[in-house]
Structure 1
């Protein structure tokens, strides 16, 4: 039996592995919520940002925040479903940056409706917003990752369980998760790592109205998730920073479940009155 060959790292692990110094990071849906936190987070760790969103005012505020950390922020006001507009934004950004190091596919969204009530137009919109724009961005960005890079897609816990009233949204998030694993293999020779984060229970703008429409309001008799504290957009930023940095340089094709243990619980809930776990 031959011994396995173990290569030595270029340098011992240290703070430099966590740095994103001088890397160019594309973040979609960057004007608010998780996208804003991610864009500001990578800037804190030294990255320059290419921010894409429909919200021009929100992008202007984000740019000020990124520049306050001494980093550059190029903004593109467009709908990620508009492939031609996205291509124009990326072409202008690459002309200035020279390359792209990290792509964060954060943009997405949905609405509550029973599957049989979703019109063909609504279905097309959900597919375009949650899947097609992701595949287009990856195809558009990869040629500019000339020195390797990282792709991180923000999916959802709904991509790993049933989503009644959100069937198409859930299906597209599951599709992105599967795409992540496939592309991790296809892009390995290019030294591009491909991973995902699957959030749950992280409040962002519009969540309350969506939950009310779905009738999915919290039940005060049970904890919302196993972990005692609520998640924040900065928790999503931390996971993305980890996956974008050299701290995760041997991780590809994986998903971080950013949900306070909800996925692990698989339906188990803790009753607040006595701490009992019930199905």
Structure 2
């Protein structure tokens, strides 16, 4: 690529895989990658809506057998993966002492080990120039009372992103992360509603420094950038899509 041009942002002909793509950030990312020309394969525990991908499967990313079937379907359809967006994840609000060992294991599997499993299965299909994008959270970078294990797993995913960026650099594969916050999604609204239903020693309802909430499409824009040639020299970093929350150290406007 000699210079930046309007065609640089296009993803025409590339094969993208997006997990957790039935709604929210995952759905927005899948639709955006498709709009910029990529062939998109999606999966989710809930059936992804029609049009979110050219290959869609309903599965739990923690199910190793189901993930292998999904990976094989992608292999048979296109033979390679140029973009992998690990978006699937989940959490619940509970104090650390109130989180059972089973609840902790669920958080670990939903937010970390399923990501390493997906990468292992798809990495053999990834050519030079491929891009892995891990969706983490602002909680990976700051204290998160009521979400201690979830935040720890997102921080682990941030560390994994940096280590894999160096390990895979000789193969020409880039690895980056997106850390969203204050985006209006169904999942975010549900967690916030449950938080407001109990007394807390802090105020969970504040606006980010920009003064308004964001949208899943804001995260999708970051994914399109990291997936394509505009970010060909970007690896091992995190794009914070949070209206300035990270820069403010957790401070928010009332």
Please classify the TM superposition score into its range, dividing by the shorter chain length. over 0.9
Distance 1:206 1:195 in 2: 23
Is contact 1:165-1:214 (8 Å) kept?
A: no
Which residue of the partner structure matches residue 234 of structure 2? Answer: 251
The root-mean-square deviation of aligned C-alpha atoms, in Å, is 1.5
Cα distance, 1:210–1:268 mapped onto 2, change above 3 Å: closer
Which residue of the partner structure matches residue 103 of structure 2? Answer: 122
User: Structure 1 length normalisation: TM-score?
Assistant: 0.86
Cα distance, 1:145–1:214 mapped onto 2, change above 3 Å: same
Which residue of the partner structure matches residue 144 of structure 1? Answer: 125
Distance 1:78 1:269 in 2: 37
Is 1:167 the equivalent of 2:158?
no
Matches within 5 A, 1:43-192: 43-56=34-47, 59=48, 61=49, 63-64=50-51, 66=53, 73-192=54-173
Distance 2:210 2:98 in 1: 35
Distance 1:267 1:132 in 2: 27
Q: Which runs of 5+ in 1 are unaligned?
A: 1-9, 67-72, 272-279
Q: CA deviation at 1:84?
A: 1.3
Is 1:14 the equivalent of 2:5?
yes
Q: Which runs of 5+ in 2 are unaligned?
A: none
Partner deviation per Cα, 1:33-82 (whole Å, 9 max, x = no partner): 100000000011000101011112xx1x2x3355xxxxxx1112100011
How many residue pairs match? The answer is 249
Distance 1:100 1:207 in 2: 29
Distance 1:65 1:30 in 2: 7
Is contact 1:218-1:224 (8 Å) kept?
A: no
Secondary structure of 1:99 counterpart: coil
Larger radius of gyration: 1
